[in-house]
Structure 1
Amino acid sequence: MRELVVTQNITVDGVIEAGDWFAPADGGDEVLGVLRDQMAQADGFLTGRTTFEEMRGFWPAQDDDATGVTEYLNTVQKYVVSQTLQEPGWEPTTILRGVDDVRGLKSTDGTQIVCTGSITLAHALIAADLVDEYRLFVYPTVLGQGRRLFPDGTPLALRLTACTSFGSGVAQMIYRRTD
């Protein structure tokens, strides 16, 4: 069974979506190194339609990206959960119609499937108890408002398996479900 990993850039107060608070360069080279390692462990990239369309409009056009993100996203098997998308237009991509399709995907052969961004999808995956691991890049910012990774009424028992702090002030915290 494949593992589903939710990776998010998150504020100290748990916000993952609130305007333009996040800048990837803020994490520095140390965070980029960790991201590269994590990309090497995953053979599937899962997102919702809105995030997919935003990424599809940006990443394929990058031709001077030294980070490796462009190459990864252009070659990894992408899965987009959407009821309306008909033609992905960014190969290799498979369209999934809902959370039940994600559950089926987890039962296929492969390594990790990583979901990032896509707050609506992340909430649905959490509610369906499909997430095996949370990799949170915690930025030293408090916004006081915005959409949080764990909405009110989402009790979860998690176990901290790793915590790394970086010179930029970002910390990565990895949590796994307790079974």
Structure 2
Amino acid sequence: MRDLIVTQNITVDGVIEAGDWFGPADGGPEVLEALREQMARADAFLTGRVTFEQMRGFWPAQTDDPTGVSAYLNQVQKYVVSSTLQEPGWKPTTILRNLDEVRRLKENPGRDIVCTGSIDLTHQLIAANLVDEYRLFIYPTVVATGQRLFPDGSPQTLTLTSSTTFPSGVVLLTYRP
């Protein structure tokens, strides 16, 4: 069974909603290297429709992307959880209609399935107990407003499996439920 990994860029106060506090290269070259290592361990990228459409409108056009994110996203098998999306328009992409299909995807052979962004989908995955690991890139920023990784009423007991501090002040914490 494959692991479903929630990887989020998050502020010290727990906000995962993107803002001007985050950019893919903001954590420095060491954070980018950690991202590349994670991309190498995953062969599936899971997202919700809104995040998928935002990414589809941006990443394929990034021809001089030094981060490697564009190249990865253009080739990795993408899965979009959506009840309304008809034609993804970004290959290779498969549309999953519900969380039961996500559960079946986890049962297939393969490497990690990574979910990044997609706040609503992430909350649904947490509520359905489908998350096997959290990889949190914590940025030394407090924004004091925005959506959080764990919504109210979703208590979790997590076990820290690793931590890495980067020169930029970003900390990568890895937890398993």
Which band: TM-score by shorter chain?
A: over 0.9
The equivalent of 2:159 in structure 1 is 159
SS of the residue corresponding to residue 15 of structure 1 reads coil
Q: How many residues align?
A: 177
- 8 Å CA contact retained: 2:80, 2:96: yes
Residue 21 of structure 1 and its aligned partner are, at CA, apart by 2.6
After superposition, give the CA deviation of every residue in 1:78-106 in whole Å (9 maximum; x if it has no partner).
Answer: 00001100000000000001111111110
The equivalent of 2:22 in structure 1 is 22
2:137 corresponds to 1:133: no
Residue 18 of structure 1 and its aligned partner are, at CA, apart by 5.5
Residue 66 of structure 1 and its aligned partner are, at CA, apart by 2.1
Residue 38 of structure 1 and its aligned partner are, at CA, apart by 0.3
- 8 Å CA contact retained: 2:25, 2:67: no
The equivalent of 1:11 in structure 2 is 11
- 8 Å CA contact retained: 1:18, 1:147: no
- 8 Å CA contact retained: 2:4, 2:115: yes
Q: Distance in 2 between matches of 1:63 and 1:18?
A: 23
Q: CA RMSD in A?
A: 0.9
The equivalent of 1:96 in structure 2 is 96
Q: Distance in 2 between matches of 1:71 and 1:144?
A: 34
Q: Distance in 2 between matches of 1:20 and 1:98?
A: 32
Unaligned runs of 5+ in 1: none
Amino acid paired to 2:169: G
Q: Distance in 2 between matches of 1:6 and 1:38?
A: 11
Amino acid paired to 1:88: P
TM-score scaled to structure 2, two decimals?
Answer: 0.97
Amino acid paired to 1:92: P
The equivalent of 1:40 in structure 2 is 40
SS of the residue corresponding to residue 143 of structure 1 reads coil
Amino acid paired to 1:149: L
- 8 Å CA contact retained: 2:17, 2:148: yes
Residue 40 of structure 1 and its aligned partner are, at CA, apart by 0.2
- 8 Å CA contact retained: 2:24, 2:67: no
The equivalent of 1:65 in structure 2 is 65
TM-score scaled to structure 1, two decimals?
Answer: 0.96
The equivalent of 2:80 in structure 1 is 80
Residue 65 of structure 1 and its aligned partner are, at CA, apart by 1.2
Q: Distance in 2 between matches of 1:41 and 1:125?
A: 20
Q: Distance in 2 between matches of 1:71 and 1:25?
A: 15
After superposition, give the CA deviation of every residue in 1:107-140 in whole Å (9 maximum; x if it has no partner).
Answer: 1111100000000000000000000000000000
Q: Distance in 2 between matches of 1:11 and 1:164?
A: 16
The equivalent of 2:146 in structure 1 is 146
- 8 Å CA contact retained: 2:48, 2:80: yes
Q: Distance in 1 between matches of 2:33 and 2:4?
A: 21
Q: Distance in 2 between matches of 1:147 and 1:72?
A: 27
Q: Distance in 2 between matches of 1:142 and 1:59?
A: 27
